[in-house]
Amino acid sequence: SKEGVVSPQELDQARTANNAAQAKLDALKKQVDAQRATVALARSNAEQVAMRRSQVVSNQHQQAAAVAQRAKAEVRLAYTELKAPIDGIVDTRAVRIGEVVNPGQPVVTLINPDDLWVRADVEETYIDRVRLGDKLTVRLPSGVEREGTVFYRGADAGFATQRDVSRTKRDIKTFEIRLRVDNSDRRLALGMTAYVLLPLQ
């Protein structure tokens, strides 16, 4: 298999290896405890003590190897888990359960309903009146209005809202602005239309 790609069979193998490593680790811990107890009781016999200590050391090495094997199995098992960086709403699912994915391949698209913003195109004849941090009114299609804060103002001109076909006057271009709007009531949805009201002064 490719590096970072885990198939259902490899997932089962990883889980089995993890369980086996845990069982072996538990058994070795019991053996170490038993050997230590035996060493304490056999202090009168130097040869027996030396032998028991050797067995304890051997079991400790085996225990360390089992711990390393278990850690490796846990890492492999962790490759099968997907964790989102934010709490959000799943918009699209690119794969289904049981499918094999490649490293970096998109699996789901998440929407953060608490971080929606409104984009508007402002004509160049007005853009110099809009500054970062300005509070503007945003009107939803339902007529509900709420306040939005300008957090982005484009530095490059976009499309022209008024194009002079006769070429006797210049075209009036636009600049993009973005406003962050409170969406705690979840009334805003991705892609919906909104109107930004610009003050006359």
Partner residues linked to 147 by β-bridges? 137
In 3-state terms, what secondary structure has residue 123? strand
10-residue averages of pLDDT along the chain (201 residues): 65 86 89 80 67 87 92 84 82 85 84 87 88 93 92 80 55 88 85 88 65
Q: Which of 124, 126, 116 lies closest to 197, judged by CA?
A: 126
Contact 121, 161 (CB under 8 A): yes
Contact 18, 78 (CB under 8 A): no
Fold of 117-197: Elongation Factor Tu (Ef-tu); domain 3 (2.40.30)
Specify the pLDDT at position 124: 86
Specify the pLDDT at position 1: 45
The pTM of this model reads 0.51
Radius of gyration of the CA atoms of the chain, in A: 33
DSSP character at residue 84: -
